[in-house]
A and B are shown apart, each in its own frame.
Chain A
C-alpha cells in the first residue's frame, strides 16, 4: 500500500483563509520534508522537519512521529500560495531516498 497519504487532494480557499494540509505515513521515519511545486513544475523546499514544530513566515510544519503524521499550516493564504504541496518521507537510514505523497493542490482566489 501507499506509504505516504496526503489529504485533502485539493483545496480551494479565498485569500486570507487558513489551510491545514495533512500527511500520514505508514512506515518508520527518519525525516519528513515538505515541498511546494509551482504550477510550472519546479520544486521548492519548505521544511526539513524530522519532529516537532517549525515556523517559516506564514507557514508552520508539525511532525508527530508517534502518531505517524505531519501537517503544514498556511495562515492568511495569498493567491501566490496556489500550487501543489508535497510531503516526502525519508525512511530510516535510506539516505534521501524520499517517498513522496500524491500532493495537495491548493487554489487561492481573491
Chain B
C-alpha cells in the first residue's frame, strides 16, 4: 500500500488556470516536502515543512503556494499556470529533517 498518496496522478491544465496538487502521508512523519522534476533536469527542491510550518522555500515565484491543513497533508496550489510549469511534482516526507526521505509517486502536470 502506498504510504504517501499524491492525487491526481496526471493533470492537464490550460495556461493561466489554477490547480491544486494533493499530498497525504501515512508514515507518521513530521516533515514534508515538494520537489519538481522537469524534462532533462535533475529533481529540484521546492519547499520544506516541519510540524506544518514552512522551513524553506526555494521557488522563485509566489504562484506556488503550499497548504498544510493537517499534519499529514501538504498540498501545492499553483496559480496562473504557464507551459514551463509542466513537470512531475513529487511530494516527500521524513521523520526528522535529517532522515531518509520517502517519496510519493508524483503528479505529472502538463500545461497547454
Residue positions of A touching B, CB distance < 8 A: 4, 30-31, 33, 35, 40-45, 48, 86, 88, 90, 94-103
Contact = CB atoms under 8 A, between A and B. Distances in A.
Most central of A43, A96, A101 by chain B CB within 10 Å? A96
Contact of B101 (A40, A42, A98): A98
Contact of A100 (B42, B99, B104): B42
A96 B101 contact: yes
Nearest to B43: A100
A95 B35 CA distance: 14
Interface of B: 31, 33, 35, 37, 42-45, 48, 50, 55-56, 58, 88, 90, 94, 97-106, 108
B56 to A, nearest CB: 6
Given A31-B98, A98-B101, A41 B55 contact: no
Given A4-B42, A100-B44, 12 more contacts: A41-B105, A45-B103, A48-B99, A95-B50, A96-B31, A96-B97, A98-B43, A98-B45, A99-B42, A100-B43, A102-B42, A103-B42
Contacts of B48: 95-97
A45 B100 contact: yes
Contacts of A100: 42-44
Nearest to A48: B100
8 contacts: A30-B98, A42-B103, A42-B104, A45-B103, A94-B56, A96-B33, A100-B42, A103-B42
Given A33-B100, A42-B103, A96 B42 contact: no
The 10 closest A-B pairs by CB, nearest first: A95-B97, A43-B103, A100-B43, A100-B42, A42-B105, A48-B100, A97-B45, A96-B97, A45-B100, A102-B42
